[in-house]
């Protein structure tokens, strides 16, 4: 799977790159990839893919940060044709024993905003490394996601596929789509992810809003409408509560952070 890389920072402790993964035309699993050293991958755009390692498969979406281990051999299976954008941190210090296996963690909207803001500052040459180091350290204590199978995996996939559309899926509709009762799905979903299906979809929608702001979209009312919010004020209230800043402040901070150069490389 071809990638375009842009180096944002290179220091003694780590390097940071923006990675743009081109859409794959053919479905199915990729060939095996082998990492030379461990990497932490933060999402900065919509994505939906499966990652297979050691006989287990994890789902990765726009809320999922990945910690990939030294010499890890894995395969990818994109679920959509959308271009995937990530912030990749390569650590240079020796790995610890608990780095032998990959880790997959869900980012809160506040953490995801910090990733976007740090990327913007790195692009502008105005710091951002302290925030990146803090985010990496936090992953070490974050709740790790287990490989998902069954109804919860199907529900997560459906939520990710429809989060950036004006689609209002009720819990009953989501449960029907994955052949479970609403009670069973809600309980299983919270057990696996730590969130209710409604909270999960809300976080995905906020992630889409941040991506559009980072892409320079200044039409706050249009973003709210496209993502299924009742109004701009509704999106603004949810954004302020979950992210901790106003929509206007986020637009000011994130605007222009999506610009990137092209230097092709393969992960």
Tokens 């390097």 appear where?
15
Question: What is the distance between the alpha carbons of residues 82 and 23, in angstroms, rounded to a whole number?
Answer: 6
What would the mean pLDDT of 57-77 be, rounded to a whole number? 92
Question: What is the distance between the alpha carbons of residues 154 and 224, in angstroms, rounded to a whole number?
Answer: 26
pLDDT > 80? residue 75: yes
Q: How many percent of the chain have pLDDT more than 90?
A: 63
Confidence grade of residue 244 (pLDDT, cut at 50, 70, 90): very high
Question: What is the distance between the alpha carbons of residues 200 and 88, in angstroms, rounded to a whole number?
Answer: 24
pTM of structure: 0.89
CA distances to 70, 184, 198, 212 from 46, rounded to whole Å, are 26, 28, 18, 10
Tokens of 147: 């490989």
Tokens of 97: 């024993």
In the 8-state DSSP scheme, what is residue 142? S
């Amino acid at each position: 799977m071809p990638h375009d890389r842009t180096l944002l920072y290179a220091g003694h402790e780590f390097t940071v790159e923006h990675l743009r993964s081109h859409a794959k035309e053919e479905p199915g699993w990729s060939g095996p990839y082998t990492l030379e050293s461990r990497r932490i991958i933060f999402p900065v755009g919509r994505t939906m893919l499966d990652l297979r390692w050691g006989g287990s498969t994890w789902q990765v979406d726009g809320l999922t940060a990945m910690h990939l281990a030294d010499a890890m051999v894995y395969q990818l299976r994109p679920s959509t044709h959308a271009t995937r954008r990530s912030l990749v941190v390569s650590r240079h210090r020796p790995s610890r024993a608990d780095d032998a296996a990959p880790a997959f963690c869900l980012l809160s909207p506040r953490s995801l905003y910090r990733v976007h803001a740090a990327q913007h500052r790195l692009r502008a040459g105005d710091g951002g490394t302290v925030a990146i180091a803090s985010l990496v350290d936090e992953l070490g204590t974050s709740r790790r996601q287990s490989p998902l199978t069954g109804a919860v995996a199907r529900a997560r996939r459906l939520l990710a596929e429809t989060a950036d559309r004006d689609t209002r899926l009720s819990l009953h509709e989501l449960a029907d789509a994955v052949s479970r009762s609403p009670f069973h799905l809600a309980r299983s979903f919270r057990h696996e992810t730590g969130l209710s299906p409604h909270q999960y979809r809300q976080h995905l929608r906020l992630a889409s809003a941040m991506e559009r702001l980072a892409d320079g979209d200044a039409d706050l009312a249009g973003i709210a409408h496209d993502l299924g919010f009742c109004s701009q004020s509704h999106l603004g209230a949810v954004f302020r509560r979950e992210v901790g800043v106003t929509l206007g402040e986020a637009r000011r901070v994130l605007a222009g952070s999506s610009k990137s150069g092209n230097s092709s490389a393969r992960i």
